[in-house]
A = this chain, B = another copy of it.
Amino acid sequence: MHRNWLSLFLIALMGSAHAQDRPNVVVMLADNVGYGDIGAYGAGEIRGMPTPNIDQLASEGLRFTQFLVEPGCTPSRAALQTGRYSPRAGLGSIIVGGTPNTLQASEVTLGELFKSQGYATSYVGKWHLGASEQSWPTRQGYDQFRVGVIETTDGTLYRDSMQRTGLPEALIAASEPGIWESEANGNLKKIRPYTLDYRRQVEGDIATVAVDYIGQQAKAKEPFFLFVGWTNTHYPSLVSPEFVGKSRSGPYGDAIMELDHRTGQVLDAIKTAGIEDNTIVLWISDNGASPTEGPAESRGGFNGPFRGEVGDALEGSLRVPGMIKWPGKIAPRASNSMVSIHDFFPTLAKIIGADIPKDRPIDGVDQSDFFTGKQANSKRDSLITFIGDEIVAVRWRQFRIYPKQFVSSAGNPSMAGGAGYRAELAGYPSIFNIEQDPREEVNTTAVNGWVIAPYLKLIGEYLRSLEQYPNPKAVKLTEFNR
């Protein structure tokens, strides 16, 4: 008996040592924040909207200057949760009212990865991966879903428009977005409508819940994975009263400053809880800003030197701020190595010792050696971009290669980004050098025709993967019967 007690004691000790080894992970995902919106990326005071907390995080971690995402909220979030190109999960289009796409039960998410390793897991804030039960965070590996914006913030604008259209209140109320909270059994309960009024309060509530969770988990000495889905700076730019008029750059600037402050609250909670040294913090945006979309008074997002915005497939839609901090493990620095949002799934799996699924293609690559400095550069030098399930752009090294042409604006300021035009090309791809020509104004196909070979190779590899693992049917909103 004594010996058995000793064994149990040793096992408990080892278990606790093991727990100690495993870092906590906090992911903060901003919504529609552009490359030109954050101080560490050349904005801040220069744009009349300082971001000292995010800048501080950037200076303490690895700041990516070539961090690429998918061109929209849902696709990018699907890529982050699954490590896969969004069309593989049928999520290559942004979920909007009435579209049937939703995260499938069969997908393996970050939540499930961490759960498999015994982490406590929590999802706070915006989800946007489908509202059907199989898609709920609580059915996808997260212990809880708090201040749950299961849809997106666009919906806060619909009530007014539906009322003016004369629709009946019952219909309006039924389609009004909600704030959801999970119960012990993982069921979701709508605790309030997500109104324009509450839009001013949601970011503060997300921060409060995240801060409390960090404190509780630190006390419980249980390793945790916390996912914070911020709602800023998605339109409408309605902020908490103390941030109204805080920036020199209008309501959008105020929203950036509230986002920075809320980020600071979470970072402070990690410090206060005494777990800073053993906590990985990943702060990223989901896609480029939307300077021409949303209500006019909410505009102001900026993609810095790059052309394009969320919804098209130009660099401005795809290159966003991103940084990761892990004291003592990831040396503070900036790197221009290519990293994509798909990479965090296999990278975090490696770090926490989880297995990634072997029965499906995983498009992300494990960047842990690059992050921790065992390897100087990223393992990635390419990325395919989709809208729906269609290939609309390929990145290979410094080249952007397009089988389609995105036409921004063309004189109509409400027709850009996701609301922009797309034209068929004559039959040959366009090739831009994003280093030489950040605004993608000079098609270099004539001198860089050789780039078509790696472009076709990348597409060929992807298409071959579909033979064994076909994509689910994609949701299309502008093409039918084809």
**With A36-B305, A46-B66 given, is the CB distance from A436 to B249 under 8 Å?**
yes
Which residue on chain B has the smallest CB distance to residue A253?
B436
Please state if B305 and A435 are interface contacts (CB–CB under 8 Å): no
Please state if B45 and A42 are interface contacts (CB–CB under 8 Å): no
- Which residues of chain B are near A248, meaning CB under 8 Å? 398, 435-436
Distance in Å from the Cβ of A411 to the closest Cβ of chain B? 10
**Interface majority SS on A: helix, strand, loop or mixed?**
loop
Which residue on chain B has the smallest CB distance to residue A66?
B46
Distance in Å from the Cβ of A19 to the closest Cβ of chain B? 39
**Which of A41, A253, A398, A438 has the most C-beta atoms of chain B within 10 angstroms of its own C-beta?**
A438
Cross-interface CB contact of A47 among B45, B249, B436, B441, cutoff 8 Å: B436
- Which residues of chain B are near A398, meaning CB under 8 Å? 48, 248
Please state if A46 and B252 are interface contacts (CB–CB under 8 Å): no
- Which residues of chain B are near A46, meaning CB under 8 Å? 65-66, 336, 435
Q: Tell me the count of chain A residues lying within 8 A, CB to CB, of chain B.
A: 33
Please state if A42 and B435 are interface contacts (CB–CB under 8 Å): no
How far apart sit A433 and B441, CA to CA, in the bound complex (Å)? 25
Please state if A302 and B438 are interface contacts (CB–CB under 8 Å): yes
A42-68 interface bits toward B, Cβ cutoff 8 Å, 1 = contact, 0 = none = 101111110000000000000001100
Please state if B42 and A305 are interface contacts (CB–CB under 8 Å): yes
A300 at the interface (CB under 8 A from B): yes
Please state if B48 and A438 are interface contacts (CB–CB under 8 Å): no
Please state if B45 and A336 are interface contacts (CB–CB under 8 Å): yes
How far apart sit A353 and B45, CA to CA, in the bound complex (Å)? 33
A250 at the interface (CB under 8 A from B): yes
Distance in Å from the Cβ of A421 to the closest Cβ of chain B? 16
A304 at the interface (CB under 8 A from B): yes
How far apart sit A377 and B36, CA to CA, in the bound complex (Å)? 24
Distance in Å from the Cβ of A442 to the closest Cβ of chain B? 8
A244-282 interface bits toward B, Cβ cutoff 8 Å, 1 = contact, 0 = none = 000011101100000000000000000000000000000
> 24 pairs across A/B with beta carbons < 8 Å?
A36-B305, A36-B438, A42-B42, A42-B305, A44-B336, A45-B65, A45-B336, A46-B65, A46-B66, A46-B435, A47-B436, A48-B398, A48-B435, A248-B435, A248-B436, A249-B433, A249-B435, A252-B436, A253-B435, A300-B436, A300-B437, A304-B304, A304-B305, A413-B441
Name 11 extra pairs, CB < 8 A, besides A302-B438, A305-B305. A41-B42, A42-B305, A46-B65, A46-B435, A47-B435, A47-B436, A49-B435, A248-B436, A253-B435, A253-B436, A413-B441
| Across the A-B interface, the 4 shortest Cβ-Cβ residue pairs | A48-B435, A45-B336, A249-B436, A42-B42
